[in-house]
Chain A
Amino acid sequence: MDFAQIIVNGLALGALYACLGVGFSLVWGVLNVINMLHGSFIVLGGYLAYFMWSYLGIHPLFALPLVGALMFALGYGLQYTLINKIVHAPVLTTLTLTFGLDMILYNLMTVYFSATPRRIRLDMGSFEFMGVFMPADRLVGVALAFLLTGLLFYVMRSSKIGRAIVAVRMDTVAAQLMGIRINNIYAITFGIGAMMAGLAGVIFVMVFPTTTSVAGVYLGKAFIVCVVGGLGSVPGALVGGLVLGIVESLSAHYFGPQNAPIVGFLLLLFLLLVKPTGLVGVKGYE
């Protein structure tokens, strides 16, 4: 395979990974919670879009806002009723709780949706540009991933809620003293995390077949994106995603596709040890 093709594949994969990881990174950065539900949220978003498409005939592009709203409500509710009660507990407690919730969600999905691989096939053909080949549906997915990530960046930068979230991340006590309702901001952040996961799921179900069993794989990718890029910032997730995409694409070419995930995890461990704040992370947020 041609080198340009490998890099383009890597960048395309990287954009999808960035969209997949940004919600996880936000939740970890702001709430200091490792959200083990993230993988299942992605799969749930994908399934919702798939069923809207196959039973109601809703095009996935129109399904995006619907899925986003549903996932936001789910995330907000979970955080407000359950996770907020222990959000300041040690990591083992919060991680165990989200893992327990993940088991419930995962089980519900396998029972009601079954584990058959599903994919929305839009059949849009493919592009070729200067010898680089790219399926059109993947191109749409990449564009959507960039768009959504950029939109989140804009919201975090310029909306009142976004500024409040950043303030809580920087200094919870000071933010509280300025009159920000912390519990509400936590729930909104978790809702945004779930929403971004669901939206990433919609994109993924257009590009790859989705089943419940890939939830763990997606969660693993979110770990890597988050650690490589650094916690809690949108540009961090973008850098993390793109780096992971290119690294996986290169290592799939040189070491074989079955070894690419190993290289991804080794990259995670390496960065954890050398630069745990991530490539573009800022010190002092943890």
Chain B
Amino acid sequence: MMAKLGTLLFIIWIIVLGTTPFYAENHIVRVAITIAMFSTMAMSWNIIGGFAGYPSLATAAFVGVGSYVGAVSQINGVPMVAAWLLATLFVCILSAAVGALLLRLKGHYFAIGSIVLVELFRLIVSSWSSLTGGGNGLNVPILRWEPDEVAKLFLMVMLGLMVLAYIMNVLVKNHRLGFGLQCIRQNEDAADMVGVDTTKYKVIGFVLSTMLCGTVGAVYASWVGYIDPSESFQIVVTLKVPVMALLGGAGTVLGPVIGAATFIVLEELVWVNFLSWNRAILGVLIVILIFFLPHGILNIGLFSKLRRKAAAKSRKGDS
């Protein structure tokens, strides 16, 4: 029952975001696109970070690679949508290779290894200037439509990705894969012992958690029309995404959506007005989150009580 209610809320939220062009000004549409973008990333992170409990900080690395693959192929004449798919495929292959190596590490070592990927990919992209334009960045061919139409298109695409990410989360959660990943989070050695193929599960989880990040990167590049290494590979973004998931409640399907929306709305309302204090306010938010909301909004007393009640009811219904 709770899952149905969650899906209903999610659909309502998608409709609210999707209809912004009809009742709100351009700025709000932009915010809606950003919310969809970060919701997709936070839900993707949730697969490896929430279900499997691996502290991955590599989100920005794969978003950046996705945006560069998309931009370079568009510049070389690949049609826009094909470039997005190409970027997704490339990121999947890359993350399978990287994941197979990196996922042997645990805890602190995995965190360091994954955060280093962001810096490593940024350095490679900026030094490979014959292909990527180096520090000067790349101009991506933009759509020659009315600005309003362009915004509507990208809103729809980002919302589409967000829905895909949601479906992916629900499927993973109800599938053996999600069960396996949750076993890995609780005790990896024990999971291995009872026959969960931990290596395979982790790699699949990692690939799923980066796949849509690659797409988001490529779509973002087509939307803004210009990318450069320091903008595409940001350590701050790589940390914002897990913070969003934690804010909502990591390991739940709806948590990352709530977290991303709360975060972006707060960002728009509060710290856009204090431009030079942007980072500090984000830092204070993180400190508050860690000390006062360690399990996220979804797990605040009231909500978890509601959930427990619902669970108890459904148990009664079964027997």
Contacts and interface: CB of A to CB of B under 8 A. Distances in A.
Given A86-B290, A97-B290, A104 B120 contact: no
A269 B120 contact: yes
Contacts, number: 118
A107 B303 CA distance: 35
A261 B126 CA distance: 12
Contacts of B94: none
A82 B291 CA distance: 9
Interface string A191-204: 00000000000000
A261 B242 CA distance: 26
B-side interface mostly = helix
A143 interface: no
B119 A96 contact: no
Interface residues of B, number: 42
Interface residues of A, number: 42
Contacts of A92: 49, 55, 111, 242, 246
Contacts of B112: 34, 223, 227, 268, 272
A107 B279 contact: yes
B104 interface: yes
Nearest to B112: A223
A100 B111 contact: no
A265 B291 contact: no
A273 interface: yes
B15 interface: no
A95 B49 CA distance: 14
Contact of B282 (A103, A266, A269): A103
B284 A100 contact: yes
Contacts of A227: 109, 112
B119 to A, nearest CB: 6
Given A103-B282, A262-B124, A265-B120, A96 B290 contact: yes
Interface string B71-96: 00000000000000000000000000
B277 interface: yes
Instruction: Please provide the 4 A-B residue pairs with the shortest distance between their CB atoms, ordered closest to farther.
Output: A100-B286, A103-B283, A107-B280, A104-B283
Interface of B: 49, 53, 55, 57, 101-102, 104-105, 107-109, 111-113, 116, 119-120, 123-124, 126-127, 235-236, 239, 242-243, 246, 276-280, 282-287, 289-291, 294
Interface of A: 28, 32, 34, 82, 85-86, 89-93, 95-97, 99-104, 106-108, 110-111, 216, 220, 223, 227, 256, 258-259, 261-262, 265-266, 268-269, 272-273, 276, 286
19 contacts: A82-B287, A86-B291, A91-B55, A92-B246, A95-B111, A97-B287, A100-B283, A101-B287, A104-B284, A111-B277, A223-B112, A227-B109, A256-B127, A258-B127, A261-B119, A269-B116, A272-B113, A273-B104, A286-B108
